[in-house]
Amino acid sequence: MRIVKVLLRLLLGIFLVGIGVMVIGLLFYETADTGAQWPTAQGTIVSLHAWEEIDDDAPISVGFSSRDWFVTVSFEYEVNGVRYSWFQQWYESKAEAEKEQLKYSAGAIVTVHYHPEIPAIAVVEPTKHFLTWADLIFYLLFIIPLIGGGVSGIILALHDLLNGYKNRIRYR
């Protein structure tokens, strides 16, 4: 019975960690997408850097690319007479990264979406995220088993509680 209690606590802990990771992920996406509703200002592109990251350990056999392209755009903008410099980074395919180099060349005028309470934080592409699809799939494959483990732990605990209750009644 002691082993069951230890396993139950372990599974419950895993479940809570899974829920925490899921909540953090949802907050990340909610924050990233709310940039579209932020106030806007006119800004200027300072620089764009696109680079390829090669992952030698990527599981090519299951269909994931071992080559990821990232784009970093640095820009300046002004809000209420205060000048700000910021950057945004996101993941792209090679073809999209090449298009972004033309769109965000140095000196280009862009619309900047800035945080209403913290104008020093801004984005030029409110719907672009740094998280890759491979990362998202990994997190989902990681979170689902955690939640499954937690749920199975709760079911196991309820089963043990009911059986323990039945045994107590039987031995009285």
The string of DSSP letters for 132-158 reads -HHHHHHHHHHHHHHHHHHHHHHHHHH
Check pLDDT > 70 for residue 75.
yes
Question: Which pTM value belongs to this model?
Answer: 0.53
Look at residue 29 and give its three-state secondary structure.
helix
CA 65 – CA 55 distance, rounded (Å): 9
Q: What does residue 39 show for φ and ψ, rounded to 5 degrees?
A: -60, 160
Q: What percentage of the chain exceeds 90 in pLDDT?
A: 18
For the chain, the helix, strand and coil percentages under 3-state DSSP, each to the nearest 5: 50, 25, 20
Check pLDDT > 80 for residue 104.
yes
For 41, which DSSP code? Answer: E
Spatial contact of 72 and 87, defined as CB atoms under 8 Å apart: yes
pLDDT for residue 62: 46
Q: Structure tokens of 78?
A: 């002004």
Spatial contact of 87 and 56, defined as CB atoms under 8 Å apart: no
Parse the chain into domains and list their residue ranges: 1-37+140-172, 39-125
122 Cβ neighbours under 8 A, 6+ residues apart: 38, 41, 43, 75, 77, 84, 86, 88, 112, 113, 114, 115
Tens digit of each residue's pLDDT (9 = 90 or more) over 109-136: 999 999 898 898 888 888 766 554 555 5
